[in-house]
Amino acid sequence: MTVRRSAAALAATATVLCVAAAPAAVAAPSPSPSPSVALPSGLYGTKDPTYDGVWRQSLAFASQRAVGVSPADEAVDWLIGQQCDSGAFPAYRPDPTVRCDAKTMVDTNATAAAVQALHEVRGHEKLVQHGASWLKSVQNKDGGWGYTAGSPSDANSTSIVIGALARAGEKLDDVTNSEGRTPYDALLTFAIPCGGKDGGAFAYQPDKAGKLVANGDATAAAVLGSLGKGLVVGNNAAVKDPACTGGDDLKPEQAAQNGAYYLAGALKKTGHLDSPPMPGAEDSAPQPDFGNTADAVVALSAAGHKDKAAASVKWLEENSAGWAKENGPAAYAQLVMAAHATGTDVHDFGGADLVAQLNATGPAPSTDKKPTASATEEEKKDSGDGDGIGGVWWFVGIGLAVGAGAGFLISGRRKNQQL
């Protein structure tokens, strides 16, 4: 969910490009802050939050609420304090007492994730609506969104914004720009037609030649977006096998099923998706992408095909512990979402209590148990009960991962390379 991987990923890529003979990156974590840097007490995680503070906090809240855990008030207050007067959120604002200005790097992915998180913890609907209003105000002419306001639309950003607007109670067919285009109009432009080995997949964006190149991260995000769902989805009953449906008048629900068809095929051989090679390391062996695999599990369940994700859930149970420990709250959150979406025990995930591990990355949760936010009508109209928020969702995210290929963290799923 990986902007769901983003500026941090881009920063990591830049680092790789500047270092001669750099080894292939394998889910490198975001840099740890220096000992002199004191992180806010309400923030989840201990690593540098510059590129993913709001993102990881939002994913933590979303996944906690999905399993009945309420985050601590100080953690919620920290996230609220990150919102700018415009309604937008940056990736991280070290001093919330300093008002946002034109130099504050707000983005759609952090905003969309925070909108969903605040909706889930309840009692903050004015802030939710303020964030949703900003998102609508920066909708592109094609109906979609890019990572930053005004940047070209991409499948990941458009999808996580769709999830946020749906959770905020918006009817997506009514979210139109001055050209009369909806978010679905933009999202469907990234869908690869059926036929061929990549039929049914989504591209992040067209490449330089205008070609759509299949991207597993973008596909997982777009399945959720096409269904009008957010970062977290419920445990849906399995339906018939996914199929790829062609035609010139593709509907969002059909595009979602086409994406599920592609994901099921991509996971079938090994049970996991792979990270694309880093620049300069094209000849290296492919590395498993834990975050994107978890996102694909959520997407398949949302589309009614959790049976096709069973092997991937098992693979994550057996292999993801080290990755999650290294990468912290957003990683644990993605695993919680994958387990929740498939009815897998979140307290015994390959022998690990994912909820306890996630909770330990931030302030102790509140003892009171508030009801999980109910599904919106927008989410109920599609397959599944839509009892959660999106995504990956996003993203997040969105997608490169913080630190080169982790397959999650900041909303910036910036993986334009082929799966």
Its pTM stands at: 0.82
Q: Which residue has the tokens 């000992």?
A: 35
What tokens were used for 364?
A: 């102790």
d(CA 139, CA 264): 31
**What DSSP string runs through 229-277?**
--S----PPP-SPP-----SS--HHHHHHHHHHHHHHHHHTTSSEEEPP
The tens place of each residue's pLDDT in the chain, 419 residues long, gives 543 444 434 433 333 333 233 222 233 344 555 444 589 999 999 999 999 999 999 999 999 999 999 999 999 999 999 999 999 999 999 999 999 999 999 999 999 999 999 999 988 999 999 999 999 999 999 999 999 999 999 999 999 999 999 999 999 989 998 889 999 999 999 999 999 889 999 999 999 999 999 999 999 999 999 999 999 898 887 778 999 998 888 999 999 999 999 999 999 999 999 987 766 666 678 899 999 999 999 999 999 999 999 999 999 999 999 999 999 999 999 999 999 999 999 999 999 999 999 999 999 998 544 444 445 554 455 433 333 333 333 333 333 333 333 333 333 333 333 33
Cβ atoms of 394 and 1 closer than 8 Å: yes
Q: Give the span between the Cα atoms of 65 and 371, in whole angstroms.
A: 8
Instruction: List phi, psi (to 5°) of 355.
Output: -65, -45
- Beta strand pairing call for 106-107 and 89-90: antiparallel
Residue 259's pLDDT is 98
166 is written with which tokens? Answer: 């749906």
DSSP 332-351: HHHHHHHHHHHT--TTSBTT
Residue 106 in 3-state DSSP? strand
CA-CA distance, 221 to 114, in Å (whole number)?
17
DSSP state of 288: E
Q: Residue 225 — φ and ψ, nearest 5°?
A: -60, -40
Which is it for strands 273-275 and 106-107: parallel, antiparallel or unpaired? unpaired
Cβ partners under 8 Å of residue 197, min gap 6? none
Helix locations, 67-154, DSSP H? 73-81, 108-121, 125-137
Determine the length of the chain.
Answer: 419
What single letter denotes the amino acid at residue 5? R
